[in-house]
Amino acid sequence: MGFLLASVAIAAAFLATRSASAHPGHSNHADILDAPIAGVRNNYWYDYRSDVEEAESELRKDLRRAKSRQDKREAWAEYNRELRDARSDYRKEMIEKGYILRRGVVTVEG
């Protein structure tokens, strides 16, 4: 009886750990913006948020299907790539609209 209870406890702990590790949440990703640039909630902000949510959904699916550590590494790498791309696209749009200035632009007249 004790062996059965121990086995059930170990299985429950394993499943809880596995589902908890499926996605660590926003706080573990410095690349995810918590607020819009310049406090402006526009279509670009909502597109960015949508891209982040889609990346999170794909990560969960990929991790569920993962058969090996390599599969998991690839899922996380793809997720991080998608986060960087979403942030970069959002930042570029906000630069074009004049909400933030380009870094490193030098104009010389003479």
Q: What is the pTM of this model?
A: 0.67
Determine the Cα–Cα distance for residues 1 and 7; give it in Å rounded to an integer. Answer: 10
Instruction: Using DSSP, state whether 75 is helix, strand or coil.
Output: helix
Nearby residues of 79 by Cβ (< 8 Å), 6 or more positions away: 55, 56, 58, 59, 62
Distance of CA 86 to the CA centre of its chain: 9
d(CA 89, CA 110): 34
pLDDT band at 24 (very low <50, low <70, confident <90, very high): low
Mean pLDDT of the chain: 81
- Looking at the chain, the whole-number percentage of residues with pLDDT higher than 70 is 65
Q: Which distant-in-sequence residues (6+ apart) come within 8 Å of 34 by Cβ?
A: 26
- Tell whether the model's pLDDT for residue 13 goes beyond 60: no
Q: Confidence band (pLDDT; 50, 70, 90) for 106?
A: low
Q: What is the pLDDT of residues 36-56, one digit of tens each?
A: 999 999 999 999 999 999 999
How high is the pLDDT of residue 102? 72
